[in-house]
Structures are given as structure tokens and as C-alpha cells.
Amino acid sequence: MSQPIYDVNIRKVEPMVPADRVISQYPITAKAMETVTRGREQIKAILDGRDSRYMVIVGPCSIHDERLAEEYASRLAPLAGRLSDRMLIVMRVYFEKPRTTVGWKGLINDPHLDGSYDIATGLATARRILSRVSELGLPAGTEFLDPFIPQYVADLVSWAAIGARTTESQTHRQMASGLSMPVGFKNGTDGNTQIAVDAMLAARAPHAFLGIDREGHACVIHTNGNPAAHVVLRGGSKGTNYSADAIEQVQKQLAKAGLSQRVMVDCSHANSEKDHAKQAIPFREVLEQRLRGNENVVGVMLESNLVAGRQDLKGDPKTLKYGVSITDACIGWEETEHLLTEAYKALEPATASAG
């Protein structure tokens, strides 16, 4: 008997619910559509220099609990409204987690946190959460990892990230070229910023690549290119990169490539030396650079949750502490509110824009 030569390591092939069916379950409301449209336009205006407000993308490292996400959003929305004349606040709503080796890959991949990989439920849950965040008037930002996921949720996203492990990937650069919202490319895990600059150039160009449509059919996707992209500095294995000198260096790289010099800084990851309690250090340093006149520093990212710290996902998910991250450690709500209010007070009213 001959040995099989295909699907040798495939255990099971499971049909996937098409995107249009998930979207029909949780259609975008008029309020959510207005939030997404306004959020995208305001972010583009900040990146273009037409809106001088300071942008902060803030929220949990990853969403693992629907109730937690909704409570966080319900706290952030009124705060964002109070600070909106000087700051644009976008909620970080991350459902996909790239792993260095193995581990929980996010709510879309494993929504029950038990290794059952009920992706259909994960997609529906992600869409439901994004809908509720948007209905509160909060623009949402997320990282796109699997290139099929945007078909299911992208209409509810105002800002997208391409992570440090995927910025150099041709697949993700092509995907970004077709996304409908501004995209932030992170520097590599080793701190290499040139790959983010190269990614911006690639994403601006038209591409054709294999994908799926909303009916779930395999197709060739032809893109126009996405000019609304920028660099996100997150540090690397060689150290932090939020200093004035580091930011000046990447701005020179951008200028040499003929690109906008607008830069965002991720206050977590290597820029906080992987210590959530140190996120305030780059947060304040970057804000100070902005106050000293570097308007090309458009804003920052913060990893924040209801409760500070992190916990391991082991055994029964019901034993998890409510409000605590199960991926990267986050600052708590009280510190989050304090830092955002502190930044608001420091920003001069003259820098505000009608948005």
C-alpha cells in the first residue's frame, strides 16, 4: 500500500463559517459605523498633520473575557470624551496573539480558553465586542495576524497594527495594502526600524494575492495600496528606542524613503523592559518630546487593564482573577486614568483641533 503524499500532518479539516454569515449575525449599527468612520478620518488627519491632537491607543494586551472588555470600554469612553479636545483615545482591542513559541493565541483562536479552538465562536465574539465598543463612541484598534480575519471584523476597526514578528512578512504587507484603515508597523523584535520603513513602502503599493471573499470563496485580491501607514517604535532585544535620538534616527530613515516622519511609541514591550510598572517612563518621556516641539511624535500605546499585572492560564478558566491580563502584564485602571489625565493637563489648549 502506497504512503499518502498530501495532508500527512493534517489531523482534521473543518469547514469555516463565511464572513457574511457572521456579519449578518452582528451587523454594524449606524452608531458604530459613525464611530469607525470618524475614528479613521481623525487618525488620518493626525498622521497628515491636519489634526494636532495627541493620540493614545490604550487597552488590554489581549481580550480574553467579554465582560471585562465591555467594562473597560465603559470606563474608557467617558474619559475619552472628557479629554477629546486635546487627545484622541483609541481602545486597544486585540484578539490575536503572535507567540514566540507556543501558547494561547487569542480569543478568536481559542475563545473558551481550553484548547477547543472554536474559531467560529471566537470570530462572532470578537465582532460582538467590537460592535459594543464602537457603539460607545470609542474607536477600536487591533492587530491583524491571520490574513483572513479582516473579512470578518475590519469594518469595525479604526486603526490596525502589524506586529514586530510580522512587519517583515510579505503576506502582511500585502494585507495592509488593502486595509481600509490606517496601519501602524512595529519595528522588529531585534529593534530594526528599517523593516518598518520598508513595510510602509510596500503597503503603499498595489498588490495581488490569494485570499477569501466574504462568502468564503478563494479568490485573488487586488489592492490599491494604503498610504495611511506609520512606524510604531516598541524597542527590541538591544534596548529601548523611545529617546529623542532614537526617534530622530527613524525620522531620518523615513525622510530618506520619502515618507511621512510621523512616529508612534509603544510604551510596553522592550520599551518598558517588559515591566508593566515602567510604562510610565516612556509615556512621560515621549510626551515631553512632544511638548518640546516634536510634533512628528503623534502619540503612544499603553497596555492597560482593569487590574495591574498578569496571571497564567492554567486549568479551569473559571479560576482566573477578573480584570487581570493572561498575556503581557498591564498597568491597572487607576494608573491609566492618572496618566491620561496628566497628559491632558500638560498639553496646551492651543494644540487642540476641532477634529
Measured CA distances, 212 to 60, 164, 209, 300, 323 (Å)? 29, 25, 10, 33, 35
Grid cell listed for 250: 527613524
- Identify the pLDDT of residue 354: 42
pLDDT greater than 80 at residue 221: yes
Quote the distance between the C-alpha of residue 192 and its chain's center. 19
A 10 A CB-CB count for 168 gives: 18
CA dist., res. 266 & res. 271, Å (int): 7
CA dist., res. 151 & res. 129, Å (int): 16
- Tell me the mean pLDDT in the region 203-230: 96
In the chain, the DSSP E strands lie at 54-59, 87-92, 140-143, 159-162, 183-186, 208-212, 218-222, 229-233, 263-266, 297-303
Grid cell listed for 34: 459613525
Quote the distance between the C-alpha of residue 2 and its chain's center. 48
Nearest to 143 by CA among 154, 133, 127: 154
CA dist., res. 268 & res. 281, Å (int): 10
Burial of 9 (0-12, 13-18, 19+ CB in 10 A): exposed
User: Crossing angle of helices 280-291/333-346, nearest 10°?
Assistant: 10
A 10 A CB-CB count for 68 gives: 20
**Helix or strand run (H / E) with residue 197:** helix 194-204
pLDDT greater than 80 at residue 349: no
Largest Cα span, the chain: 79
19-346 maps to CATH 3.60.10.10? no
Cell 517612563 found at: 281
Q: Domain locations in the chain? A: 19-346
- Identify the pLDDT of residue 100: 72
pLDDT in tens, 82-121: 999 999 999 999 999 887 777 899 999 999 999 999 999 9
Can you tell me whether residue 141 is helix, strand or coil?
strand
Query: CA angle at residue 141 from 135 to 143, to 5 degrees?
Result: 135
pLDDT grade for 1, boundaries at 50, 70 and 90: low
- Whats the size of the chain, residue-wise? 355
The secondary structure of residue 125, as a DSSP letter, is H
The secondary structure of residue 304, as a DSSP letter, is B
Mean pLDDT of the chain: 95
pLDDT grade for 302, boundaries at 50, 70 and 90: very high
- Tell me the mean pLDDT in the region 218-236: 97
Type of residue numbered 241: N
- Identify the pLDDT of residue 341: 98
Cell 486549568 found at: 315
Q: How many CA atoms, within 13 angstroms, populate the side-chain half-sphere of residue 74?
A: 7
17-33: b or e for each residue (b if 16 or more CB lie within 10 Å)? ebbebbbeebebeeebe
pLDDT grade for 3, boundaries at 50, 70 and 90: confident
CA dist., res. 127 & res. 122, Å (int): 9
- Lowest-pLDDT choice from 6-20, 57-71, 269-283, 340-354: 340-354
pLDDT in tens, 27-77: 999 999 999 999 999 999 999 999 999 999 999 999 999 999 999 999 999
Grid cell listed for 237: 532585544
pLDDT in tens, 170-181: 999 999 999 999
